[in-house]
C-alpha cells in the first residue's frame, strides 16, 4: 500500500481507494486470502503517514455477492468500509479468466456472463459494479474484439438494476493495458447508461502493481464525458456523493 501511495502522491492524484479481493467461491484458489485485520492495520498506517497529502478510502471487492450475500453483509460490519465493489469472476463452476471458459462461442460466453451479472445486480448488497464486461480481457485472444450491441437486450436490464438500486458503474481501465485494449465498460454501454438516466460512476485503474496507479484514468474520463455523463460518485462510509465530472478523480 505504501508504494502505491507514494506513486499517487508523485503523480498528483488526490484520492486513492484500496479494495482487497474477498472471494468465497468454492473453486477459488484465493479463497480465504483476505486477512482483514492485517489489511486494515496497513491501511490505517498509510492514512496516518499520508494525512494532508492523500485521501485514502477503504474498499473491498466481493466476488459473486449474489451467491454470498450473508457473508458480504457480515464483513461489511467488521470494518468501516467506504465502498464495496461487486464483481463476477465465476459463472457456475467456470472462471471467466480461464481458457476453458472460451471453448464455447463468443456469443455463448458473453450471454452466460451477462445473464449471471443481471442476477448479481438484482440482489445487490454492494455499492459499485466492477469491470462490467470483463470476459473480453481474457477472451480477446480466443475470439477477438466483441460488439456490445450484439448483447444490448442482456446489458440494458443490468444497467436498469444498477440505476434502480443506485449501484455505481465502475469504468475499469485494466484492460487498456492488455491485448483487448478497451475500457470495461466501453463507450456503447456508457451511452446506454447515460441515455437511461444513469448518474453514478466511479473510475478504477485496477492497479495490482504500483506502476499502474492512475493508469488510463484520462481515457476513462474522456469516454464518460463523450457519453454525456456529468458526474463521478465519491464514496465515504458507504454513502455516495455526486461530484462534477470535471473535478479530480479517485483511483
Q: How far apart are CA 147 and CA 150, in angstroms?
A: 6
Give the chain's domain count.
1
Share of the chain above pLDDT 70, in %: 98
Q: Are 174 and 205 in contact (CB under 8 A)?
A: yes
In terms of residue numbers, what domain contains 65?
A: 2-244
Output the domain CATH number for residue 194. Answer: 3.20.20.140
**Model confidence at 19: pLDDT above 90:** yes
Residue 251 lies in a domain: no
Cell numbers for 61, please give them: 471487492
Q: What is the pTM of this model?
A: 0.96
pLDDT score recorded for residue 30: 83
**Model confidence at 99: pLDDT above 60:** yes
Residue 250 lies in a domain: no
Residue 230 lies in a domain: yes
Residue 249 lies in a domain: no
List pLDDT tens digits, range 46-67.
999 999 999 999 999 999 999 9
The label of the residue with cell 470494518 reads 79
Write the DSSP string, 77-130: TSS--SEEEEE--EETTEETTSGGGGGS-HHHHHHHHHHHHHHHHHH--SSEE-
The label of the residue with cell 444497467 reads 159
Please count the CA atoms within 13 angstroms of the CA of 132 that sit on its side-chain side.
Answer: 29
142 φψ region: left (φ > 0), alpha (ψ -120 to 50), beta (else): alpha
14-18, 40-44, 184-188, 243-247: which range is least confident on average?
A: 243-247
pLDDT band of residue 33 (cuts 50, 70, 90) is confident
pLDDT score recorded for residue 247: 62
List pLDDT tens digits, range 210-244.
999 999 999 999 999 999 999 999 999 999 999 99
Cell numbers for 112, please give them: 452466460
Amino acid at each position: 500500500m505504501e508504494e502505491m501511495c507514494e506513486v499517487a502522491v508523485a503523480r498528483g492524484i488526490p484520492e486513492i481507494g484500496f479494495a482487497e479481493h474477498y472471494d468465497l467461491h468454492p473453486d477459488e484458489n484465493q479463497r480465504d486470502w483476505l486477512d482483514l485485520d492485517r489489511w486494515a492495520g496497513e491501511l490505517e498506517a498509510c492514512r496516518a503517514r499520508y494525512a494532508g497529502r492523500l485521501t485514502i478510502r477503504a474498499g473491498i471487492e466481493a466476488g459473486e455477492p449474489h451467491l454470498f450475500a450473508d457473508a458480504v453483509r457480515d464483513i461489511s460490519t467488521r470494518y468501516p468500509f467506504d465502498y464495496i465493489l461487486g464483481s463476477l469472476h465465476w459463472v457456475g463452476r467456470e472462471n471467466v479468466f480461464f481458457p476453458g471458459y472460451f471453448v464455447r462461442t463468443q456469443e455463448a460466453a458473453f450471454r452466460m456472463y451477462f445473464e449471471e451479472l443481471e442476477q448479481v445486480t438484482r440482489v445487490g448488497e454492494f455499492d459499485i459494479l466492477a469491470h462490467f464486461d470483463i470476459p473480453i480481457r481474457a477472451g480477446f485472444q480466443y475470439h477477438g474484439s466483441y460488439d456490445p450491441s450484439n448483447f444490448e437486450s442482456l446489458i440494458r436490464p443490468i444497467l436498469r438494476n444498477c440505476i434502480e438500486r443506485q449501484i455505481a458503474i465502475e469504468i475499469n481501465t485494466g484492460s487498456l493495458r492488455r491485448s483487448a485494449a478497451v475500457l470495461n465498460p466501453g463507450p456503447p454501454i456508457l451511452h446506454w447508461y447515460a441515455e437511461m438516466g444513469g448518474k453514478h460512476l466511479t473510475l478504477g485503474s485496477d492497479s495490482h502493481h504500483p506502476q499502474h496507479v492512475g493508469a488510463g484514468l484520462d481515457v476513462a474520463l474522456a469516454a464518460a464525458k463523450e457519453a454525456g455523463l456529468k458526474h463521478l460518485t465519491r464514496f465515504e462510509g458507504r454513502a455516495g456523493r455526486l461530484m462534477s465530472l470535471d473535478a479530480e478523480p479517485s483511483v
